[in-house]
Structure 1
């Protein structure tokens, strides 16, 4: 009787630990988030640079913050998340991608490297690729060529899952330095109503340290700005301590049961 009673006590002691872990698992999944930093580096000798923060909120919202400088003053700058949510490898282009040799890396030449538009980073309204050239809803640089942008977007779970595979591109260059877009470099190949200067990429950035595509480098998923896989470490620690405590209680109960059996 003593052995059975002690065993039941041990089971009751272990039950709260099991319940704690069961509750922690869905809470962790619901509260988990990914946060990545992207450094924007110039294209087309634009001198434009910046920093982007991508922060997931649950499974279908994404907060995007951008601070950029060196842009064409007072002009709107189309900006997008480019890349794939299917693990296809894309990356930022360089000057060697200017295949027609005209001295300007246009969007068509660069797209083979950074992929199609996934999300248009507009200031309001639609964010689909259809709004890629909605310059009236794109942020404009101030008189010093600086741009600040923040918006929380509704996105698909695939975007959240593949954030490390996406990258940011801003558009709009000023090669002749007259602080406006003109047709000095011809018409945009995307829309002849727009000058090439308005649509050519001015900078591009990839997630810091992240593997290109969905295949991790060296078998370890990288990404220095990411909390992916390490969200809420305190929760893991608490769960681990609870599990250890439960195991210790169970061990003590068993030892007491054996001693009672021997004494009985």
Structure 2
């Protein structure tokens, strides 16, 4: 990949004076690249995100639509999806030596009812979470897979996650850790009121339908990749399936998945 046009996407809350953004910009301009700060365009060859995992998730929505690879520079706490730290910018030279690889991450299409258009499609790199519309209330949730009843949970909510999202909220809720090269969809209940409720993993080719199934269920709240909650009317069914989009991540070296996992989570524990 020839890199000529670079977009920097900084988290301004973590780079208040813009000094980190300036450091990165200077590296790319010294290599003859055209650097812009802000939005990805059709001319973009590479998008560089300065922030943490939240910043990466927001950037992935636009980058995946255009097939633009992302490189994450961690300014956050864990930065599981980022590839390098702000104190190790020398590694950027490897981009111009061709010493990197592009890792494709599976995404989800999340299709929700919409009063105006009938349905609305959202795209998730990490997860979709369905919970009660009332913060302190549990919800009775059913999950159908390929048209057949699969599981039912009485819980605070459920998390439908990609392998990338398995190390995020799903992990906190006791879900399985999944190698990102495995294509599948996991379903994990949040604080289920049951001794037998367990997470489940389905094929990436499956189509899941999620719905409130209690007789007295009111509105439900859906969040996608930690975004603003969408209130769904009673009886709504949310469809989740593998997306045709992927998120492309720049990777240096070939660290095994388990090694990266242990490193990132141990760094978090010692912060």
Max Rg structure? 1
Q: Structure 1-normalised TM-score?
A: 0.22
State the structure with bigger RCO (CA 8 A, min sep 6), 1 or 2: 1
Q: Structure 2-normalised TM-score?
A: 0.22
Which structure has greater strand proportion?
2
